[in-house]
Every structure is written in C-alpha cells, then in structure tokens.
Structure 1
Amino acid sequence: MKRRSFVKGLAAGSAVAGLSGMASAAGTTRSMPQKHNFKLKYAPHFGMFEHHAGKDPIDQLHFMAETGFMALEDNGMMGRPAELQTKIGDTLAKLGMTMGVFVVDKGGNSANTLAAGKKEHVDIFLDGCRRAVEVAKRCNAKWMTVVPGDYERHLPLGIQTANVIEALRRGAEILEPHGLVMVLEPLSDSPNLFLQYSDQTYLICKAVNSPSCKILYDAYHLQKNEGQLITNIERCWEEIPYFQIGDNPGRKEPTTGEINYRNVFKYIHEKGYTGVMGMEHGLSKPGKEGELALIQAYVESDNF
C-alpha cells in the first residue's frame, strides 16, 4: 500500500512551475505543484490529475486537496460500488473537501423524458431519486444533477412543461426530507433536449416550489444557448445553488476560449457564493503538462 507524505504549509502563489518531490513506499516520486488558496470551491473530476496522482481515486483526492482544490464532482458516482462511494465520502470528510454533484440515474440525458407525462418514464426517474438518497448518504453529497430528457414533440409546450413540473414535484418529495437538492441542468448538446435556457429552468423551479429543486448553472452550455452570463446569473440568482465551468468553444479549462471567467468568478464571489464550482470540462493539453496548465488556468482566473 502506498505511503503518502503530504505537503503542508506551502505558500500560495500564482505560479505552478515550482515542483517538489513526493516519495512513496515503492520508491517512486510524484511531482507536487504548489498549493493555492483559491477564493472559490473549484471541483475537479476523477481523471483530471491521474498523470500526477495515478489512477487510484483516493490518491487523486489527496492530490486535489494538496493543490488547493477543496471539492469534487463525480457524475458517475451512482455507478460506483457502494464500498467505494463510502470510501470517497470518508476521504472527503478527512480532507475537509465538499462533495459536488453526481447525476441521478434515469437512463441518460435524452431518455425517459419527463415532458411526455408517461408513468413509466416518471417511475424510472423516481426510482433514480430513491437510489440517489442512499448514494448521497454514503459519499456525503447534497446536490444531484437531473436532466428532464427530450421534448415530446407531439404535445404543446405548455403541457410538456406541466408534465416536467409534476414529475419534479414528486422527485422533490423524495429528496426534501433528507435535505438533498436536485439541480436541473439546461444543456446545449442537442436541440431535442427539453431544458435549454436559464429563464425556462427558473420558471420550472418556481413552479415546483421546493428547496429540493434548483438550477445547475453550467456556464459552458448557457454561453452557447443564450450568452449574457452575468446578466442571467443575476436574474436567476435566488434559484442557483450550484455552478459548472467549461470554456467555449471546446469545453476545456478557463482561458482557452471566449468566456472571461475571471470576471464571472469575481461576480459570483462578490455575491457571497460559498458553494461548489464544478469543473465539468476537458483539458486542452495532454499529460502532466496539461494538468499543470489546468491548475495555472484556475490560478489566473481566480486572481481577482
């Protein structure tokens, strides 16, 4: 079993270039970037730092904490073995890290659309919510992503919206007693997806009228679908407990596209936000170089 010796008390800085060695019981050396005191709780996914930390998810969690990332996102948490979910939750607690979203298993983003109002689709969604409660307990999660599915094109839009609201109310009834929150994510992946805009999601959350149904504001998707990020965040602020990040075009780390993330992050921070900022994007470069570039991008974008 690897012995981990963790870097303590490293001064925060804006450069990632300074590396220190880290030895393991096997005699290998791991390069360790500086630790940064980020103003916001940016949340990597597993795999983002595997060239530095290895493939073991627990080692990756330690690396995230050692470099200053104090939250985690794991869309696929519901598909992991229960014992690993528990181990991840325990490790997050020991490191003082926050668990971000995982995706409620309802059969895929487009599948089993709630807009259709079909009992079999709603039953699949509600079963996913019930199972998500147990997963959340094991991994110390509070938020979980829900995508309502595709349009049901033969129904009027108002009927589809009412069907979605009714299904989400029933899901909220499952989650609310446990203090859990489903966050609805407008997406840009396909024009067939029912949920695409922040104002549309705001309306639905107001209609569901539950603390367990809110907005996941993914800046990558919403930059593509509607733009005006700061304006629309302000309009929907009271219904947004969770953000995700990705630059456009390309869906890579900040500084690689058109979004001025330094300004967006500054605005969110000045609003008093203390929640999770999910890093749901790829890396613009491969290998260790790409991982260091990723860290540097967040150092630069957090410098406000």
Structure 2
Amino acid sequence: MDRRKFIRHSSLLGIVGTGLAACNVTDELFQTNEKCAPNILSFAERRHWLSSFSCNIEQWFRPIPFLDRINAAKALGFSAIEIWNPHQVKQGKSPNAIAQRAIDLNMRITSYSPGAPNFADPNNEKVFKRWLDVAIEAGKALNVSNFNLTGHKKIDGLTTQEMIKNYTRMLKWAAPRLESENMVATVEPYNPWNHKGHFIYGKEPALSICREVNSKSIKLNWDFFHMQRTNGNLITNLEEGFDQVEYIQLADAPGRNQPGSGEVAYGHILTRLRELGYQGFIGAEFFPKDKNALKAASDLAYLAKSVSLHPPRF
C-alpha cells in the first residue's frame, strides 16, 4: 500500500472513530464495515481508555508495511506499541528505523523480542553471549529497558532438569551485565497448545528460575493467554508469582483474539493486576477478531472503561 493511500485510510478511520462518517463506510485497511455501529467508541474515548495498552504491531495490521503499522496504531488511538525481533531487514525492520518512526509519531515502544538462541543448549553459550550484546544495543536504540526472552526449545538428549539448569546458569551469567545497563530480560513461558516443543510452559518452572537467579534484571513476561492455556486459575497464579512480574501481555482464550471474544473474565483480572501494584503497560498481543482492528481497539477500550483502568504510572 502506498503512503498516500495509507494516509487516506488512516484519516477515514479517524472520521469513523469520531462518529462523523455516514453509515456503510468500508475501510479495506482496517477491515471494517460499520453501519453507524453504537458499540464503537469515539476516537477521543478510545485514545483515553487505550492508554493502558501497548499494541502488538506484529499481530495487528499485517497487510501493511511494518513501519506503517506504527501509524496505524496511532490512528486507532494507541499511544504505545510492542514489537518482536527488530532485526528483520526484509520486513523493513531495524532498531533505528523503528525508533525514528516512533519518535516522529510520539509513540512509545514498551517491549521487544529479539529472537533469543536456545541457550539451554550448552553448545550455544558463545552464541548467547554475542546475542546479548546485540539485544542490549537494540534496546538502547529503541529506548526500551526491557526485552522478551525465550530460548527454551527442547534439546534432544537432555532431560528437562538439565535444560532448566543450563538455562538458569546462563541467566545468572547475564544478570550482572543487564543490571549494569539498567535493563530487564523478561522470561516468557509459552503454552503447549500452540507452542509445542518447549520446556518452559506456564507458571513453573519459570517462576522458580527467576527466584533462583534473584536479580532485578531477570523477571517474567506474564502473558495471560499462555497462562490460561497452561494453568488457568489466573488471579491466584498471578498473586503467587507477582513478585517476579515485569511485563504483562494478554489475549482471550481459546482463539487469541481481543478480550471479550472468549472465556477469560478480564475485567476482574485487570482490576486485581492494578491492585497488586502493576503500574506498567499491558501488551495487546492478540489477533483482532475477523481482522477488524477498529472493533478490537474499541472492545479493548470498553474493557478498560468498564473497570476504570487507570493508565500506566512511571
């Protein structure tokens, strides 16, 4: 999509969001067909209530060039974005290019996932140490102090306990370096339903690993979608692991779409999250249902409004 067409569609979205457009407006970029729909919040209200959330532009807006997705997130009312690996040139990604577009649009980047090697494998120790340098430099360019850490695929010939031991050992090695840079690596447990072949799923062993490392720079990315698919009992498990939580992501289950599309009572969860003292952004790492980004953003804003979710505090 060329830039003129993108700007035209972004402007149209703003008009639809404020309720000034006529009925039957169709927008090919955002996959909307709103007939004066009363359940779409105005742009001003969306922007206010989306202030707690960071839009994952890897899963939103996939038909358009990567950097233009930052524009799209802003057009919907988001003030922050999260990304995955910033070093993918073929997709138009580089830390400096992403950072510059975010600066130009006054958008904040809250998290990135720089594709960690499988460092539970002792053969990857040197690779991991070189990768850590690259990950830290990316964070400096992006002006983000925390990045997502996986690297926990199963390794043939090793037991689960051996993999956990190797993984923990490398985190203990990385912790002092990260502390000196005032950065945090957030271990992200997956779920066995759609992330097969890993050894870190749900609350454990991730929580025990972080407690053993015992560093302010090694914490958890607590993704409620993965936690629901693995453990359930979301509020109790959050309470038990909250001391190690650095970053939060969400998606409804089982479909990994926006809250309200599945079985998770996110109103109660987000209320408890703030009560526990989490003051940061909440990553909207989900696929908008039916590829309707405007509806997904409005649903997310309605959720925040329903529980008076206060914005991040720093």
Residue type of the alignment partner of 1:279: A
Q: Does 1:102 align with 2:109?
A: no
Please give the residue correspondences for 1:134-173 in structure 2 after superposition, counting only pairs within 5 Å. Answer: 134-152=137-155, 154-173=157-176
SS in 1 for 2:290: coil
How far did 1:205 drift? 0.7
Number of matched residues? 279
How far did 1:46 drift? 2.6
Q: Report the Cα distance in structure 2 between the residues aligned to 1:281 and 1:235, rounded to whole angstroms.
A: 25
Please give the residue correspondences for 1:202-281 in structure 2 after superposition, counting only pairs within 5 Å. Answer: 202-281=207-286
- Residue matched to 1:77: 86
Change (3 A) 1:47 1:236: closer
How far did 1:199 drift? 3.7
Change (3 A) 1:78 1:292: same
Change (3 A) 1:235 1:247: same
Residue type of the alignment partner of 2:294: L
Indicate conservation of the 8 Å contact 1:252/1:284, yes or no.
yes
How far did 1:274 drift? 2.4
Change (3 A) 1:190 1:93: closer
SS in 2 for 1:150: coil
Q: Report the Cα distance in structure 1 between the residues aligned to 2:171 and 2:102, rounded to whole angstroms.
A: 29
Indicate conservation of the 8 Å contact 1:50/1:60, yes or no.
yes
Change (3 A) 1:281 1:176: same
Change (3 A) 1:266 1:40: farther
Of 79-88 and 132-141, deviating more is: 79-88
Point out which structure has higher relative CO (alpha carbons under 8 A, 6+ apart). 2
Q: Report the Cα distance in structure 2 between the residues aligned to 1:156 and 1:59, rounded to whole angstroms.
A: 44
Change (3 A) 1:273 1:38: farther
Q: Report the Cα distance in structure 1 between the residues aligned to 2:233 and 2:148, rounded to whole angstroms.
A: 23
Which of 270, 283, 297 lines up with 2:299 in the alignment? 297
Q: What RMSD, in angstroms, separates the aligned Cα atoms of the two structures?
A: 3.3
Q: Report the Cα distance in structure 1 between the residues aligned to 2:297 and 2:57, rounded to whole angstroms.
A: 15
Residue type of the alignment partner of 1:128: W
SS in 1 for 2:294: helix
SS in 1 for 2:222: strand
- Residue matched to 2:19: 18
Q: Does 1:128 align with 2:131?
A: yes
Indicate conservation of the 8 Å contact 2:49/2:302, yes or no.
no
- Residue matched to 1:178: 181
Indicate conservation of the 8 Å contact 2:86/2:94, yes or no.
no
Which of 188, 201, 217 lines up with 2:206 in the alignment? 201
Indicate conservation of the 8 Å contact 2:87/2:93, yes or no.
no
Q: Does 1:60 align with 2:63?
A: no
SS in 2 for 1:302: helix
Q: Does 1:92 align with 2:80?
A: no
- Residue matched to 1:42: 53
Q: Report the Cα distance in structure 2 between the residues aligned to 1:124 and 1:19, rounded to whole angstroms.
A: 54
Where do 5+ consecutive residues of structure 2 fail to align?
23-29, 33-40, 308-314
SS in 2 for 1:135: helix
Of 126-135 and 89-98, deviating more is: 89-98
Q: Report the Cα distance in structure 1 between the residues aligned to 2:188 and 2:20, rounded to whole angstroms.
A: 38
Where do 5+ consecutive residues of structure 1 fail to align?
22-29
How far did 1:97 drift? 3.4
Change (3 A) 1:162 1:302: same
Indicate conservation of the 8 Å contact 1:151/1:192, yes or no.
yes
Indicate conservation of the 8 Å contact 1:106/1:124, yes or no.
no
How far did 1:154 drift? 4.1
SS in 1 for 2:282: strand
Indicate conservation of the 8 Å contact 2:168/2:209, yes or no.
yes
What is the TM-score when the length of structure 1 is the normalising length? 0.79
What is the TM-score when the length of structure 2 is the normalising length? 0.76
